[in-house]
Amino acid sequence: MGGANEFNFEDTESEVTAGSSSGEPMAALELRSVDLQSAKNNQEHHTQEMGLQRLIVRRSQSFTIQLHFNRPFHPKKDSITFVAETGPAPKELLGTRATFLLTQARQGNGWSASDFTVQANSLFVSLFTPPSAVIGPYSLKMEISQDPSHSTTHPLGTFILLFNPWSAEDDVYLPSETLLQEYIMMDYGFVYKGHERFITPWPWNYGQFEEDIIDICFEILNKSLYFLKNPSKDYSQRNDVVYICRVVSAMINSNDDSGVLQGNWGEDYSRGVSPLEWTGSVAILRQWAARGGQPVKYGQCWVFAAVMCTVMRCLGVPTRVVSNFRSAHNSDANLTIDTYYDQHAEMLPTQKRDKIWNFHVWNECWMIRKDLPPGYNGWQVLDPTPQQTSSGLFRCGPASVKAIREGEVHLPYDTPFVYAEVNADEVVWLLKDGQAQEILAHNTSSIGKEISTKMVGSDQRQNITSSYKYPEGSPEERSVFMKASQKMLGVRGTSSPFLDLLGSGGAVGQPAQLQLHLTRKPEWGQDVLLRLHARRVADRAHPQGPIHLVVGFCAQTLLHNGGTREPLWRQKVHLTLDFGEDIQWPLSLPYNNYRNKLTDEKLIRVSGIAKVEETGKSMLVLKDISLEPPHLSIEVSERAEVGKALRVHVSLTNTLSVALSHCTMVLEGSGLINGQISNDLGTLVAGHTIEIQVDLYPIKAGPRQLQVLVSSNEIKEIKGYKDIFVAAARAP
């Protein structure tokens, strides 16, 4: 809904003056034109990046408009009333219509028009919107009356009202300009992916200030089930950031509604775009809007969270993207995730929905929680990935990060689910003939690792694990876990079917220590070389003499959701271990075994189960391996300036031992490129380098980021980025 910056009323003059008596000493006040002063107001309201052509302001902050009349305004004779309306059926009772008189001084915190100045035939008026105002597109009208029996109404134009994190009165107030620059104004960033031991920064173009994105954000709200069911009630609740967050969290996925993205955790993306091939939110949001609200194919957690970050920053809510490594999906809320191996060291699929994802990505939004007891303001978890329902819809949050840290899982919304994502225990079982044989491991600290977000004002990663939980193994951490367990499990206890086995203590006092190490850096296209390090240690069950181990190894593709595929490779090793002995046993996983078997994430889990012949007990050893893709180089030769050609050099050397076929390159970057630039690069032979030169014409000044994605049949995600500072255009 766009609004013109200036309206001219010359054409309506006769209509306005009709009915005024020529006997009156003063001519009727007639509006000739209006200037909403969009450029100046948008600058003052930190919305100038969204454009200067239409008025976009933040609540709880004044903005000035200029009205031009046929004669000077006389405060004692002329009465002016303003009317602001939003939504399908505006009503004062619902907070979607406001009527307010022009007064000299502002009173209270409601809608007001005041602090006016008269300059010849112009009137400058300061309009103020309350901190509790409904956000969204508004129309603004003015009624002029000189006596109670006669008034004229004039449309003044439209404006968009957003949350205001710069205002101490607003529920999203964030009292730090540095943080506001990062969590509202920054239109690019990083999503952290991969594995806790090899975390990869994934550049992302949020693009919340691209011209049409704000309209698409309100379109998202207007496609929600709440709006479709009761539009007036939905609009009336749009003053509440908690409500908006819950609506957006449900609308980013398409499980219940015409949401933005359709999830796909399989391997077939032929009917859409692989989640790995998106480099930003803008293309996704534009495609959703252009197709009338048809869900875009496809998303996974980092895509859902990155798109939600775009929408929330655009609406004025400080937001960041957070990655949790080894993230539990604990659907039965028993705070325990069970994983299973057979005696050949193969990780087995489970019928249960419980899983440990390699990583999971969600959002944090900053707000005051008036619906909670004191002490739970600040960062709140919101998760738009459809994992389970909350009040009937696939969404999650807002859950207070402070409540998660303190184990206050009874506080809304969805706090038990998020608590389990970062705190559940992992129990690893050995299965034989479908029956639980023994516990191989009971890990109380293997879930919720390296919780990460982009560092403020930097391209570095910030570890924020300590804001979610006390240090692992500390007395505070265990006491919070016990408190949360009692609240979540109550009298029914844990629902793990093997509780008796678990109570027996599991894997304690083993007669050997086993570790798997990489012999060299693992690169895609080469054999993976490992070594098993085995050492005899004293234990109660077998304190003396040598022991004999039969170690079965298995390598499997590790999926993003924590599951695995059928084995790629197996090996069996017989070892005799005595005290004082260290054995280093080499292992080799050939490239041919995995070349066509890995997912796009290029992760392999090597597991080994060692059976001690003397005791009949088993031990588990694990190693997760991430295969390195080739690296992109991006260089910019000269100073970047708005509107001036900027040459970018991109080079890629195929360091693999195989060719990369059907290579394509996509460049994106808000403020640098309008949309995307795509190039087909053909086949890149092993050992060869491809060099591409592209001329960009930067559109906006300030810090920008160029994202580059090279995709091939063999490797879907070779990503790179370049931070570029763009200078304003020089005066001619």
pLDDT-derived band at 684 (thresholds 50, 70, 90) equals: very high
- Asked if the model's pLDDT at residue 10 lies above 90, the reply is no
Per-residue buried b or exposed e for 107-124, using 16+ beta carbons within 10 Å of the residue's own CB: eeeebbbbbbeeeeebbe
β-strands 150-162, 55-58 pairing: parallel
Name the nearest CA neighbour of 307 among 412, 435, 375, 208: 208
C-alpha 388/C-alpha 48 separation (Å) is: 38
CA distances from 622 to 40, 258, 608 (A): 61, 42, 6
Residue 162, H or E segment: strand 150-162
C-alpha 233/C-alpha 250 separation (Å) is: 18
Phi-psi region of 689 (alpha: psi -120 to 50; beta: other; left: phi over 0): beta
Q: What is the mean pLDDT of residues 187-194?
A: 96
User: Before 398, cis peptide (omega within 30)?
Assistant: yes
Name the nearest CA neighbour of 296 among 362, 251, 341, 360: 251
Position 5 scores a pLDDT of: 57
pLDDT-derived band at 595 (thresholds 50, 70, 90) equals: confident
Residues contacting 168, CB < 8 A, separation 6+: 175
- Asked if the model's pLDDT at residue 366 lies above 80, the reply is yes
Name the nearest CA neighbour of 1 among 142, 96, 139: 139
CA atoms lying within 13 Å on the CB side of residue 267 = 11
**Least confident span in 4-13, 52-61, 225-234:** 4-13
Position 496 scores a pLDDT of: 45
Type of residue at 472? E
C-alpha 682/C-alpha 703 separation (Å) is: 33
C-alpha 384/C-alpha 96 separation (Å) is: 28
Position 391 scores a pLDDT of: 80
How does pLDDT run across 13-27, given as a tens digit for each residue?
333 333 344 455 789
How does pLDDT run across 544-591, given as a tens digit for each residue?
889 999 999 999 999 888 889 999 999 999 999 998 889 999 999 999
- Asked if the model's pLDDT at residue 459 lies above 60, the reply is yes
CA distances from 205 to 183, 189, 587, 668, 706 (A): 14, 7, 42, 7, 8
The two three-digit tokens of residue 407, written as one number = 């184990």
Angle at 342 between CA 341 and CA 347, to 5 degrees: 35
How does pLDDT run across 69-96, given as a tens digit for each residue?
999 999 999 999 999 999 999 999 999 9
How does pLDDT run across 419-450, given as a tens digit for each residue?
999 999 999 999 988 888 899 999 999 999 99
Q: What is the mean pLDDT of residues 162-180?
A: 98
The two three-digit tokens of residue 57, written as one number = 């302001």
Name the nearest CA neighbour of 126 among 196, 50, 63, 201: 63
- Asked if the model's pLDDT at residue 9 lies above 70, the reply is no
Determine the straight-line distance between the first and last CA of the chain, rounded to whole angstroms: 35
Spell out the long-range contacts of 145-150 with Cβ–Cβ below 8 A and sequence spacing 24 or more.
145/79, 145/81, 146/20, 146/28, 146/29, 146/77, 146/78, 146/79, 150/19, 150/20
pLDDT-derived band at 403 (thresholds 50, 70, 90) equals: very high
Catalytically active residues are: 301, 360, 383
**Least confident span in 19-23, 42-46, 210-214, 441-445:** 19-23
C-alpha 1/C-alpha 593 separation (Å) is: 57
How does pLDDT run across 469-519, given as a tens digit for each residue?
999 989 999 899 999 999 988 755 544 444 444 444 444 578 999 999 999
pTM of the full structure: 0.93
